[in-house]
Chain A
Amino acid sequence: MKAAGERLVSYLFILPAFLLVVVLLLVPMFQNIYFSFFDWDGISRPVYSGIANYAKLLVDRDFLISIRNTVAWVGFTLVFPVLGGLLVAVFVDGVRFERFFKSIFFIPLTISFVATGIIWTYMFGKELGVLNNLFALLGLPLKPSWLTGVPLNTFSMLIAWTWQQLGTNMVMFLMGLGTIPKEPIEASIIDGATRFETFVHVKLPMLRPITTVVITMAMVNSFKAFDIIYVMTRGGPYHSSETLSVTMFRETFTMFKMGYGSAIAVFLSVVVIGMSALYIRQMAKKDLLYY
């Protein structure tokens, strides 16, 4: 009697969370896969079109440009926000005024991507923007079209992205550096290793678990980048700076090609899940050990 009551309570406690996630996230995901096989404008009746949407992906010039840009986002992210974040973490670690330096790189984390995009739209302004006027002040004969030049606009947005993201990675790497025991480092210095050698041969291998997490999160997040691009260029001019998320949004909600948008979403998800695989495995391992 009591056991049955407890059983009921145990399910009732899970039910609301279960319903929210299943109804609003999981079922729609399957519907999305289903829609990707239809031609649908969002209003009239969907028409079954087989794999036409997927076939179109292979020949759609805008989509291929979008993939190229997305790859640029991921590659650039690994070099600047991630490797840069690691270097800044190493520089900042144990330095005098550590707290001050950390908090500077931390500031952009507290504001949104939309705000970041707007701030950098001003920084990059052609006539009144800060950077071009700074160049003029320094006597440099440069006046780039940061946000309308192709492919410069993608790199300009990646500068804004680095400004926003570097702090997250720095915090994660500092967390990892904090867990490294002192003995092996001291031993390596006594053995006559330089700071650089100690870093490469002792610290870096010990940072491996956190590095996996940082790299995966950074890759996934840059692969999904949307807000900054939407605010700074809307993917333009002429779709030249779109990434997959922006292309999906445009096809779906401005062109009303819902089926095609669904197919792009499926593509996006497959890549994201593939990128996360390593990290999911590591997490699962940890989870099983932990509990």
Chain B
Amino acid sequence: MRSARKLPTYLILIVLVLLWLLPVWTTFLVSFKSAQDFMSQKFYELPTRVSIVENFRTVMKTYRLHEHFLSSLLYAVSGAGIAIAVSSMAGYSIVRLKPPLFFLLFLLIYSGTLFPFQMYLIPVYRLYNTLGLYNTRIGLILIYAAICTPFALFVYRGFYTTIPKDVEDAAKIDGAGPVRTFFSIFVPQSLAPTAVVALFQMTWIWNDLLFGMVLSRTQNIRPIMVALATMSGYGGGNIPYMMTGVIFTSVPTILLFVLLQKYFIKGMAMSAVGH
């Protein structure tokens, strides 16, 4: 009974796996080819000369991808970092200190994630021009942090409700105030929510195209995905260089996923109820 369904299932899965791997395999193959090989060979043929090092060199020299890489690393780390700092504090206050209207404040901040980016793109662009934040690193970091904050708050708030109260009560008797309680009891226990937020939000910032395009203009500020998208220049571009760029710019997110794998499912479960 079971074995009867096995064969078709495996056949379908194997066909799908081949379809899914075809783009991955050809991407790697092309990144090893020179422009001449790419033009003259069939897509499945191995390169006559391994050119990936040269391709990498050009991607850096001509397209300066390593500089965009560093800019985006800064944006991802500081954007997500700020979101983590402000959201964990706010989450703690909302769960434990419960100031008047705390739930309304939570909903207000959380509502920021429900609307599409287009809804605030133009006014932010205008605001940035007025404040001199247009085409600055700090400007990009701030908008990334703001966009990451609602989801981060959602995660921290959910997590902090699961921390038992007894340790805190003991600390309170010892005279610890809310600030000390937060830093000595809540922060040390926050590894799991922080890993979830860092994984999802750093990946999102790294992969962002829209805000990078709208809020920056010059090469030294523009994030990595804008640079990568510009390489293609509407159907043209040198394909081996572009594929090398694809691989180079995908390394950090692939690494993050591999390192924080176990938090991915956790985060999916959480975002299932609110991103």
Contacts and interface: CB of A to CB of B under 8 A. Distances in A.
B116 A265 contact: yes
Interface stretch (B49-57, B163-171, B190-198, B234-242): B234-242
A118 B116 contact: no
Interface in B119-141: 119-124, 126-127
Contacts of B98: 10
A187 interface: no
Nearest to B20: A104
Given A91-B9, A130-B22, A283-B274, A119 B27 contact: yes
Interface string B185-229: 000000000000000000000110110011000000000010011
A220 B249 CA distance: 27
Contact of A6 (B97, B122, B153, B207): B97
B46 interface: no
B86 A17 contact: yes
Contact of A28 (B38, B120, B142, B207): B120
B70 interface: no
Given A113-B207, A128-B43, A128-B239, A120 B17 contact: no
B89 A13 contact: yes
Interface in B142-193: 142-143, 145-147, 149-150, 153, 158, 161, 177-179, 182
B42 interface: yes
Nearest to A107: B24
Contact of A147 (B87, B89, B235): B235
B253 A112 contact: yes
A142 B146 CA distance: 49
A123 B9 contact: no
B269 A122 contact: no
B119 A32 contact: yes
A44 interface: no
A112 B212 CA distance: 14
A90 to B, nearest CB: 9
A147 B213 CA distance: 23
B71 interface: no
Interface string B91-106: 0111001110010010
Nearest to B105: A14
B214 A253 contact: yes
B30 interface: yes
Interface string A261-278: 110111011001100100
A272 B99 CA distance: 32
Interface in B240-260: 242-243, 245-246, 249-250, 253-254, 256-257
A245 interface: yes
A24 B179 CA distance: 27
A122 B30 contact: yes
A280 B269 contact: no
A16 interface: yes
B146 A24 contact: yes
A10 B99 contact: yes
B250 A111 contact: yes
Contacts of A54: none
Contacts of A117: 229, 232
A163 interface: yes
A48 interface: no
A25 B272 contact: no
Contacts of A269: 115-116, 118-119
B263 to A, nearest CB: 13
A79 interface: no
B201 to A, nearest CB: 13
Sorted nearest first, the 9 A-B pairs with minimum C-beta distance are A28-B123, A10-B97, A112-B207, A28-B120, A13-B93, A24-B146, A31-B123, A10-B99, A17-B90
23 contacts: A9-B97, A11-B99, A13-B182, A18-B90, A21-B149, A35-B122, A95-B9, A95-B10, A101-B17, A105-B20, A115-B250, A118-B243, A121-B232, A122-B27, A123-B26, A128-B239, A224-B117, A248-B118, A249-B118, A249-B210, A265-B121, A268-B119, A290-B158
Given A168-B268, A172-B272, A230-B209, 13 more contacts: A10-B97, A18-B105, A24-B146, A26-B111, A35-B123, A95-B9, A112-B206, A130-B23, A130-B43, A133-B43, A171-B264, A224-B118, A276-B114
